[in-house]
Amino acid sequence: MIYSLLIVSSPVSGHCVQTAAEFAHTVIERGHRIHRVFFLDEGTYTGSAASVFAQDETDRIQLWVDLAERHAVELILCISSALKRGMLDQTEADRYEKAGASIHPAFTISGLGQLVDASISSDRLITFGG
């Protein structure tokens, strides 16, 4: 089965983002595939290159980076949501004359069309947060 995920909660508010990442890893371990993960609204903070978690906490961003690196899963930040929150890749930083990128390189900024494509290309679109 092919899954795509929609994440709408911040990585620092509760355990939703961590639960979603663990779900994604479990799905792959069971022989299924994650087509794409789309981060919307507060979920775009998951792509922050500057986030630091306490030593006794799980790094909720690294869970996603590991997923992308190990299994070639696309991690997409909604461009509209990301820009409002200061989440920029180098292209957007240059466009808006900002100092530099603020997202982790494992994440890509793109539009809602990627979410539509994910829902069409997957058997299930699972939403985390709300």
Whole domain around residue 19: which residue ranges?
2-128
The CATH number that applies at residue 72 is: 3.40.1260.10
pLDDT (0 to 100) of residue 60: 77
3-state secondary structure the chain: CEEEEEECCCCCCCCHHHHHHHHHHHHHHCCCEEEEEEECHHHHHHHECCCCCCCCCCCHHHHHHHHHHHHCCEEEEEHHHHHHCCCCCHHHHHHCCCCCCCECCCEEEECCHHHHHHHHHCCEEEEECC
Q: Which of 27, 34, 78, 118 is catalytic?
A: 78
Residue 56's pLDDT band, with cuts at 50, 70 and 90, is confident
Encode pLDDT of 36-50 as tens digits: 999 999 999 999 987
pLDDT (0 to 100) of residue 38: 98
Residue 78 is a catalytic residue = yes
Query: How many domains in the chain?
Result: 1
Encode pLDDT of 72-112 as tens digits: 999 999 999 999 999 999 999 999 999 899 999 999 999 99
